[in-house]
Amino acid sequence: MGRTVVVLGGGISGLAASYHLSRAPCPPKVVLVESSERLGGWIRSVRGPNGAIFELGPRGIRPAGALGAQTLLLVMLGGSWLQTLEASGCVLSQELFQQRAQEAAATQLGLKEMPSHCLVHLHKNCIPQYTLGHWQKLESARQFLTAHRLPLTLAGASYEGVAVNDCIESGRQAAVSVLGTEPKS
């Protein structure tokens, strides 16, 4: 009887892992388990009220829980705009950032409606991805899985990068780990 590999989650990493597992020289039976009605995880396209299509990336900087599942727009402001504000002595407040983000959404996307919820965070000189100590926790989890010989591999935006290409590579690496060899191209 052949091997069966269960992939938990039909996000981009789970889909990539399933694809690469199915392309192995002796592919295992792949069972993809997804809790929602659609595949793609955090990646999805949403049509706005004026017909504009928004592409939402994996995880990104969404809040956790139900609010995060309903987040449709992330506005990142910075660079010279922020430097000019700081140089002018302007007080950098959450209200100011929210106002500027809403102005940008209205100007660039035609969105005039006020958001039902708004979270504002100031992160200077970075694009936040993980909390402090993330890499140490991830390494500890991997060591635990190895030490206890658990047949589990971690993949996805929660582990090794939040960009689409990171998620696809994470899924490919999970397949390689399970197979013990590179799948054919």
Q: Tell me the pTM.
A: 0.62
Asked if 74 and 61 count as a contact pair (C-beta separation under 8 A), the reply is yes
Work out whether the CA dihedral 16, 22, 25, 26 comes out positive or negative: positive
Q: Tokens 């060591």 belong to which residue?
A: 143
DSSP characters for the chain? Answer: ---EEEEE--BHHHHHHHHHHHTSSSPPEEEEE-SSSSSBTT-EEEE-TTS-EEEE-SSTTPPSHHHHHT--------THHHHHHHHTT----HHHHHHHHHHHHHHHH---SPPS-------TTS---S-TTHHHHHHHHHHHHHHTT-S----STTTS-SSHHHHHHHHHHHHHHHHTSPPP-
Structure tokens that stand for 79 in this block: 């660079």
d(CA 154, CA 145): 10
d(CA 168, CA 16): 5
Question: Does residue 47 register a pLDDT over 80?
Answer: no
Domain 4-38+127-179 CATH (choose: 1.10.260.40, 3.40.440.10, 3.50.50.60, 3.40.50.720): 3.50.50.60
Question: Does residue 33 register a pLDDT over 90?
Answer: yes
Question: Does residue 184 register a pLDDT over 80?
Answer: no
- pLDDT single digits (tens) 117-156: 677 777 666 655 677 788 899 899 999 999 999 988 889 8
Q: Can you give the residue ranges of every domain in the chain?
A: 4-38+127-179, 44-109
- pLDDT single digits (tens) 53-111: 666 665 544 555 665 555 556 666 666 677 788 889 888 888 888 888 888 777 766 76
Between 181 and 31, name the one with better pLDDT.
31
Q: Quote the pLDDT of residue 102.
A: 83
Question: Does residue 31 register a pLDDT over 90?
Answer: yes
Between 16 and 109, name the one with better pLDDT.
16
